[in-house]
């Protein structure tokens, strides 16, 4: 039997309502998903080092992370919906004129702007902060423009980090002396000057005779303090034009540059031995250090660091062996 028109109408309405419910549920699910993704993205931005601001297409603030709150002096709630220029107030360092709004610029050009370091941020409360900042257009998944993203940081902090990284790249982390890479660069510079001005140079290879015994009996922490103390003593034995490097472990290398004669190095060798032998007190313990010093001559033994180091190393081991032989004969 055929269904009545009324029954067909009821069936169609039920199907339509069910479809609407499915669409509504799907839309709610999508909105919830997008909300969760946005919350996750915002949470992640709180963990980056830079300050981050987001705007809508009208250049009004829609988001700022914790770093941006700290640097601008505005909370997220206070900044929400405000024009960017009232929260992120930037002037040019040189002219002290108000700088063009970066958000407007990147949205108009659809092109990111790289880091600039000629800006001063007018912090809420009246102070000024030198910053580096960058901006980019903010696009949705379809590529449609939805706003702008600005990141910035304290340029003084950036400069400090850069300087620190440069220092770490050239210096031994324990003693603060030049590392092997930086020492090699200093050698190249010094040797070029020595050739030009017909000067002499001497390479000293220094090794602590009894360091293993000190390490084993007093412990590695005291051993580290002894190495740092010896590094300071070595620096006190040379001129500012000379270079001291921790070659590795308890081995040190010294470049005596700009010498009129190789014999000038002998006084430095004596000074190194005497300085190392002075009583050293670390954490309630006394230690007496002895060093063996080998030398190689520039340009007689070689004109490169690769050529001079083996000569100085071999000479140091001969000195160490001779010292042990003499000490064994002196024992009762």
Radius of gyration (Cα) for the chain, nearest Å? Answer: 35
Indicate the length of the chain as a whole number. 332
The residues facing 2 across adjacent strands are none
| Pairwise CA distance, residues 47 & 158, whole Å | 17
Q: Which among 298, 299, 292, 294 has a CA at the least distance from the CA of 314?
A: 294
Chain-centre distance for alpha carbon 103: 30
Q: Strand order of the sheet with strand 291-298?
A: 243-248, 251-259, 200-208, 291-298
Phi-psi region of 73 (alpha: psi -120 to 50; beta: other; left: phi over 0): left
Q: Are 190 and 243 in contact (CB under 8 A)?
A: yes
Neighbouring C-alpha atoms within 13 Å toward the C-beta of 7: 4
Residues serving a catalytic function are 250
């Amino acid at each position: 039997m055929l269904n009545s028109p009324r029954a067909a109408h009821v069936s169609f309405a039920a199907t339509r309502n069910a479809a609407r419910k499915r669409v509504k549920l799907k839309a709610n699910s999508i909105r919830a998903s997008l909300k969760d993704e946005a919350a996750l993205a915002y949470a992640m931005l709180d963990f980056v080092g830079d300050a981050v601001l987001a705007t809508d297409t009208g250049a009004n603030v829609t988001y700022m992370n914790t770093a941006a709150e700290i640097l601008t002096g505005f909370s997220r709630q206070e900044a929400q919906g405000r024009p960017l220029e009232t929260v992120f107030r930037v002037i040019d360092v040189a002219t002290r004129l108000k700088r063009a709004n970066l958000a407007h610029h990147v949205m108009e050009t659809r092109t990111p702007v790289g880091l600039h370091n000629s800006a001063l941020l007018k912090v809420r409360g009246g102070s000024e902060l030198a910053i580096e900042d960058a901006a980019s257009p903010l696009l949705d998944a379809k590529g449609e423009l939805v706003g702008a993203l600005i990141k910035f940081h304290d340029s003084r902090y950036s400069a400090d980090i850069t300087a620190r990284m440069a220092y770490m790249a050239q210096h031994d982390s324990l003693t603060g002396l030049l590392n092997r890479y930086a020492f090699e660069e200093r050698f190249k510079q010094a040797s070029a000057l020595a050739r030009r001005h017909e000067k002499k140079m001497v390479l000293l290879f220094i090794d602590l005779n009894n360091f293993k015994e000190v390490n084993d009996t007093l412990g590695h922490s005291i051993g580290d303090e002894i190495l740092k103390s010896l590094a300071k003593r070595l620096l006190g034995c040379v001129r500012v034009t000379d270079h001291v490097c921790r070659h590795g472990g308890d081995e040190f290398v010294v470049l005596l540059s700009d010498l009129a004669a190789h014999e000038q190095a002998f006084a430095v060798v004596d000074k190194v031995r005497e300085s190392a032998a002075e009583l050293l007190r670390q954490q309630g313990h006394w230690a007496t250090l002895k060093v063996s010093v080998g030398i190689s001559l520039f340009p007689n033994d070689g004109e490169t660091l690769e050529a001079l180091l083996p000569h100085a190393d071999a000479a140091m081991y001969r000195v160490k062996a001779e010292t042990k032989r003499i000490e064994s004969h002196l024992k009762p």
